[in-house]
Structure 1
């Protein structure tokens, strides 16, 4: 009869999609003011976090909500720059001090080791949450097949 590699290819497709979109997310921010290699790596990890949030839950609202919340709290609440851009007034005026390597400097927290650590913790938190909620950590392979293809394959069966 042959071997069925479809589940394996779906899993690989999802992992490649997360990696590729994360690279684009990091590189897309690399042209921002004050960008560094560390900010690009940090934003690549942010992309991994957003991508995993989607492919592990199937909920697009989760990464969108996380992205909006991060940017809002980073600038509008705490007054940090967002990806090298100062977006205006904030609720709390903070004076950022310390080594740029740790704090991210004028680019913002995601360009520093503290920000990278926060994103690694966020990735771990999503994995733990999915494990507690679903009982196991699995990629939702059905996300690799667009709805239009599903409808066509369902009609042919």
Structure 2
């Protein structure tokens, strides 16, 4: 689902900068802001929230079914961003390779 979000960002922008920046932001938020993991044998990195994960994998916050609503919000946000910036949602013509 996240790959589709990055692909949508690429198709709407026609550039790699948008999905690369989005990927960096998602990784940074997941690892450093919300769900930082302790390095083996070292102190925990500072984060805003450090939950203790005791739920089964189905409910894991970064890989379980709880990710689905967040990814859907991401799809709406990416479409909203490009609509706000351009006034329309259209596939970049550089992406069309029919010749």
Normalised by the length of structure 2, the TM-score is 0.72
- Residue correspondences, number: 92
2:15 corresponds to: 59
In the TM superposition, structure 1's runs of 4+ consecutive aligned residues that sit over 4 Å from their partners are none
Note the residue ranges of structure 1 that are not aligned, 5 or more in a row.
1-44, 81-85, 150-157
1:64 aligned counterpart, secondary structure: helix
RMSD: 2.5
Question: Structure 2: how far apart are the matches of 1:60 and 1:129?
Answer: 16
**As a proportion of its length, which structure holds more helix?**
1
1:120 aligns with 2:72: yes
Q: Does 1 or 2 have the higher relative contact order (CA < 8 Å, sep 6+)?
A: 2
- Comparing 88-97 and 127-136, the one that deviates more: 88-97
The 1:113–1:70 alpha-carbon spacing in structure 2 relative to 1, beyond 3 Å, is same
Question: Structure 2: how far apart are the matches of 1:90 and 1:73?
Answer: 13
Question: Which structure's CA Rg is the greater one?
Answer: 1
Normalised by the length of structure 1, the TM-score is 0.49
